[in-house]
Amino acid sequence: MTTAKKYLVTGGAGYVGGTVAARLLERGDRVTVLDDLSTGFREGVPAGAEFVEGRVQDAARWLDGSYDGVLHFAAYSQVGESVARPEKYWENNVGGTMALLAAMRAAGVRKLVFSSTAATYGEPATVPITEAAATAPTSPYGASKLAVDHMITGECAAHGLAAASLRYFNVAGAHGGLGERHDPESHLIPLVLQVALGRREAISVYGDDYPTPDGTCVRDYIHVADLAEAHLLALDAMTRGDVPAGEHLVCNLGNGNGFSVREVIETVRKVTGHPIPEIAAERRPGDPAVLVASADTARERLGWIPSRPDLADVVADAWAFARHRHQEEGA
């Protein structure tokens, strides 16, 4: 049994950060959530967590030596917005992390799990994508996350930090009443579920002439609960010394299986029992045909094996969350 620890979760009022905070609490750890609520929601902070409303740039005001580690999710993540307002992403994602690392150094907190992204790879030359793939982000968002990864590597080497950057592919599903509620929403599964709920007339399919089995883009979907488990395993690996002081471990997180846009839509039809009208649309610039992860490193170094690889299970959990919110809002 793991001895209870105390962790700071930045961005813990968001979808992924909140789910990870909930899982930490479920296993008996103590959690402080730091979030400025610019994109997160107060009700997204799991019960039992201490909540501090504030910016990650000011983490030094709350972080002290009583913490065993930090899980860092506080970042802006809209690709399109990052193109239009790159300065916002450099200031928050990069500047905020620089301030956080300084606060951790001053407090003597020497364990970090960072929420990175597959966007660091850009358009891959080969799939499945391994951590050895070239990093060539195609947006300021991806570039800001890659810059933080480089920053963490230097921090580990110079100051003895033990760190793991977990590069997510497409996260979906829900856990413990926590699910996706972005505004605006840009992710495929919740958008298709909006059609099932009658909030959207149809789903746009951007391109049907890709070199894939049905002509639509293929993506790797991972259940948010499986994603959260990887964060706990990374912390445990640091505690055991399997990820020692001075090492920066980079792991891709994905199922290793790809599902096309049309397969996702058909799965939503089956799970919800609702017709989902489609609208053909032009390809979006920069959309690769296939993005699928190799998660071999996470399996070998962390012992991580996704327990919910079935797309229907991911959609069913997301659907339950979406219906609950729909009813709560009296729609």
- Residues forming beta bridges with residue 278, ordered by sequence position: 203
The residue ranges of DSSP E strands in 224-299, in sequence order, are: 248-253, 259-260, 278-281, 290-291
SS3 126: coil
Residue type, 55: R
| Cα torsion 217, 223, 228, 231: sign | negative
Task: Centre a 10 Å sphere on the Cβ of residue 141 and count the other Cβ atoms it contains.
Answer: 25
Tokens of 326: 């729909």
Residue with tokens 């079935």: 310
Question: Helix crossing, 96-107 with 140-159: angle to 10°?
Answer: 20
141 catalytic per annotation: yes
The residue type found at 40 is: G
Q: Which residue has the tokens 């039992």?
A: 48
Return the bridge partners of 117, or none. Answer: 168
Q: Which of 121, 141, 168, 210 is catalytic?
A: 141
Which sequence positions are flagged as catalytic? Answer: 141
